[in-house]
Amino acid sequence: MRRLSRSLSPRLLLIVSGLIFGALASLLVRWGNPDNMGFCAACFLRDITGALGLHRAEPAQYIRPELLGLVLGSFIAAFSFREFRTRGGSSPLVRFLLGALMMTGALVFLGCPARALLRLAGGDLNGITALTGLVSGAFLGIVLLRRGFNLGRSAAMPAPAGWLAPSFTVILLLFAIFTPFFIFSSVAGPGSLHPALWVSLIVGLAVGLLAQRTRMCFVGGWRDVVLIRDFHLFSIIAAFFVGALVTNFALGQVGHWGFSDQPIAHDEHLWNFFSMALVGLAATLLGGCPLRQMVLSGQGDTDAAVTVLGMMAGAAASHNFGLAASAKGVTTFGAWAVGLGLAMALAVGLLMKERRQT
């Protein structure tokens, strides 16, 4: 029993990590990030996609150093604790598709599961609609997991494959530092709002270290509560919310409580619910939220890296094809994309099964 308790991360570490991350997310707004968007895995990856010119939404183009730090922090933590292992081969193309669908959903709501909490901690009650949708989608995913959904086993691969994602991240960091002519940078809008590069990078590194060690996941926490009544991962989510809320109050960053006129948000309840249901479903099938996929990419999981590429493709498609929502509301195509996305994720969940051996 003692050996068991030693092998488990103590609950206190999780709570402290969640509080630190929540406080840092709130501080990042003070230091320059857009309101209620101190840290957002989906929005920031969308901004990076735009900075590379893969979509041309001019207000959403910036290489967000937070995410580069996240991947590199995870890489450093995994390496230091001998958890870096190159793996892959578990239905990469299906993961690419689910990653793209997950991003499409997040960009209709305007935030990843972590930003849903940050929006709520800033007074935006649409966060509640979104979290209800997220948990509903995760519940659907759990039903599919119980029916035997499985993307197949991953296998060990030669180490260099696992180094690719951290290497790409370093190249992106060089692009962020030297901004060569082909990198786009917003001059107005959310993409133009950010702290100094080194501030974002250091916070990202710290979050990456914490996230790798605690296995933080903003869908897994909800999933485990429903699936096995386990509050282990949920304690990070709760602490993250409390940390952001308290820091927002301390900094006077809590806006007005309500649904309308919230920063970088719309109040179309139906689509806030269903878009995040899509995110919850896709993330449960993938085994982790957008943030977790990036952390896994840093520790040698090439399937997670393919998922992140899928998310970037989803971000490009969302803006190039007019699917992404804006403060003005959801587009017609965006609503269709959420409906079709749910149907596609459901089909994946029903059709992908591994032959049971045990």
CB 134, min distance to other proteins, A: 16
Residues 215-254 as x/- pattern, contact with other proteins by CB under 8 A:
x----x--xx--xxxx-x----------------------
* Phi, psi for 121 (deg, rounded to 5): -70, -10
* Rounded CA separation 291/45 (Å): 10
Output the CA–CA distances (angstroms, integers) from residue 121 to 11, 125, 182, in the order listed: 23, 9, 37
259 token code pair: 């649904």
Residues 129-148 as x/- pattern, contact with other proteins by CB under 8 A:
----------------xx--
For position 350 contacting other proteins by CB under 8 A, the verdict is: no
Name residues contacting other proteins, limited to 282-301 (CB under 8 A): 286-288
Q: At what angle do helices 269-286 and 290-298 cross, to 10 degrees?
A: 30
237 close to 214: Cβ distance less than 8 angstroms? no
Q: How many residues bind other proteins (CB under 8 A)?
A: 33
Residues 180-219 as x/- pattern, contact with other proteins by CB under 8 A:
-----------------------------------x----
For position 303 contacting other proteins by CB under 8 A, the verdict is: yes
Half-sphere exposure of 7 (CA within 13 A, CB side): 4
Q: Using CB atoms within 10 A of its CB, is residue 172 exposed (0-12), middle (13-18) or buried (19+)? A: buried
For position 83 contacting other proteins by CB under 8 A, the verdict is: yes
Nearer to other proteins, 124 or 224 (CB): 224
Residue choice 151, 207, 308, 317 for contact with other proteins (CB under 8 A) = 151
Please choose, from the candidates 241, 236, 207, the residue with its C-alpha nearest in 3D space to the C-alpha of residue 220. 236
Tokens 């450093």 belong to residue: 76
CB 331, min distance to other proteins, A: 33
Residues in contact with other proteins by CB under 8 A are 1, 3-4, 7-9, 83, 85, 87, 90, 145-146, 150-151, 153-156, 215, 220, 223-224, 227-230, 232, 286-288, 303, 357-358
